[in-house]
Structure 1
């Protein structure tokens, strides 16, 4: 339940509606930093992992008999098989394909992770490469290496969701470091399980959270505070589910003598104020980046 007295004493506001207003009025417009878009280090490393196999596939350029040439290439260099799904933007070593609809649902499994292949498996892989359109592209493209780089860039966009919270986490980490300078006895634990806290610091934890992971736990004189961070741009997880999850956690932590801080931000909350209102009402402390910068996290920690 919201610590109304805390908000009243530190912000001069005394209702859930007031807290909601100050949070939604000061939401940051974007969390895009320059390194949000593409993790170039990871992308180029993944590309270079397959540079040998891709170089072999370059031999198919302008082939007049691409299926026969691919067949012979795999016989000599079966390691090229593992890069085929990667070139189709798929990291799965085994792929199941819907093979037929006309005579009922029929599926075909293709394994790209073996060291050796039977004649039938080899024929199947050549058929897959042809049927998926990849073989025709390999015969036409000037640089399979550059193509693979593009594929890796596309796959890396899936990781943007994970990077979206890094901006806030970095701010929290830096803030906690500054707070610790004033309180050397403060224990700060990042990205662990609650069971880890129980085993290493003899802090009582709710049984239902033993296997759950947290963003941060701060321990001061045997009092514990859980800090969770997320950014809601309006896409991805449903806000009601986010709020429900943290509200449930707040309840079980409170029974164990813990406190919970939920740091959230993002323009997505502008249109989803009802679930945010519910979260503010049911969670000890809800703050955004603006309130973090105004020192509220330090004040919360000093209360524990």
Structure 2
């Protein structure tokens, strides 16, 4: 019997899990995104920078906003706000709110007064006045770097996909096979003229390998978990159903997953495996397990 389905395969999978992670240099900051976000307001930031260190900061800000109203659109960026308008609770007793719109077309003097007050009340104005912020363009870059850290979770998933694709691409090239990345049913139909039913219309498969001699497809889903949690169990449950669904259409489902998160969450993984599903990790990819699967 194929060793891919034997208990020793699962034991080997657990023993060879990647416990160190797959972080690459571009994981930490997406500099292109940071700089692209700042570029449209670079001129405005430099204009606002003339207020740094000014004792009469409120009147200076008023003059800048009045003379160059486009500088107002930079305020949300400096305070790590993605919305173009915010409602502030200004009276907690009577529950009174005030709306601050940073992107309206015409600003009255009263609007500008309110926006200056917003900058001062937020604490940003005092930092500019006291020179604790010495350069607004540099400070804004730091803010964008901080906001970009929210994207690290997605980048971690992307890096796993990139890593796996490097193995898939070489394997397919060496074995005269074709593959697609991020493929849906339409893309498969357009490329290989194979009709597939889908379990949901938005379904996108990380990688699809096509074995032309018998028109067989191999679907590969990829993820990496550094930590545990309910997500691991829900993913295993979803893939059990996906594998069952695709087998009815002569599609082989392959789950490539790794990470120390699985060390303490083995039961969902074992449930997936014991139902006759294919499970491999990064080390197994390195050891040519795709050949064992596709040419077995």
Return the TM-score normalized by structure 1. Answer: 0.84
Return 52-61 or 37-46, whichever deviates more: 37-46
Q: Is the 8 A contact 1:194 1:214 kept in 2?
A: no
What is the Cα deviation at residue 236 of structure 1?
Answer: 7.7
Q: Any stretches of 5+ residues in structure 1 without a counterpart?
A: none
1:3-42 → structure 2 map (5 Å cutoff): 5-6=1-2, 8=3, 14-15=6-7, 18-28=8-18, 29-42=20-33
What is the Cα deviation at residue 98 of structure 1?
Answer: 4.5
Q: Is the 8 A contact 2:45 2:71 kept in 1?
A: yes
Q: Any stretches of 5+ residues in structure 2 without a counterpart?
A: none
Q: Pick from 149, 160, 163: which aligns with 1:171? A: 163
2: CA distance, partners of 1:167 / 1:108? 43
1: CA distance, partners of 2:241 / 2:91? 46
What is the Cα deviation at residue 154 of structure 1?
Answer: 1.0
Q: Is it true that 1:202 corresponds to 2:161 in the alignment?
A: no
Change (3 A) 1:73 1:183: same
2: CA distance, partners of 1:153 / 1:188? 35
What is the Cα deviation at residue 112 of structure 1?
Answer: 2.3
Q: Pick from 54, 57, 69: which aligns with 2:60? A: 69
Corresponding residue for residue 73 of structure 2: 82
Q: Is it true that 1:162 corresponds to 2:165 in the alignment?
A: no
2: CA distance, partners of 1:197 / 1:37? 34
Return 130-139 or 235-244, whichever deviates more: 235-244
Q: Is it true that 1:135 corresponds to 2:125 in the alignment?
A: yes
Return 140-149 or 249-258, whichever deviates more: 249-258
Q: Is the 8 A contact 2:29 2:149 kept in 1?
A: yes
Q: Give RMSD over aligned pairs.
A: 2.5
What is the Cα deviation at residue 224 of structure 1?
Answer: 1.5
What is the Cα deviation at residue 190 of structure 1?
Answer: 0.9
Return 131-140 or 72-81, whichever deviates more: 131-140
Q: Is the 8 A contact 1:194 1:211 kept in 2?
A: no
Q: Pick from 241, 255, 272: which aligns with 1:248? A: 241
Change (3 A) 1:126 1:209: same
CA deviation string 1:123-146 (max 9, x = no partner): 433332222222222223111122
Q: Is it true that 1:124 corresponds to 2:114 in the alignment?
A: yes
What is the Cα deviation at residue 265 of structure 1?
Answer: 0.9
Return the TM-score normalized by structure 2. Answer: 0.86
Q: Is the 8 A contact 1:206 1:252 kept in 2?
A: no
2: CA distance, partners of 1:258 / 1:149? 47
Corresponding residue for residue 296 of structure 1: 289
SS in 1 for 2:26: coil
Corresponding residue for residue 258 of structure 1: 251
Corresponding residue for residue 239 of structure 1: 232
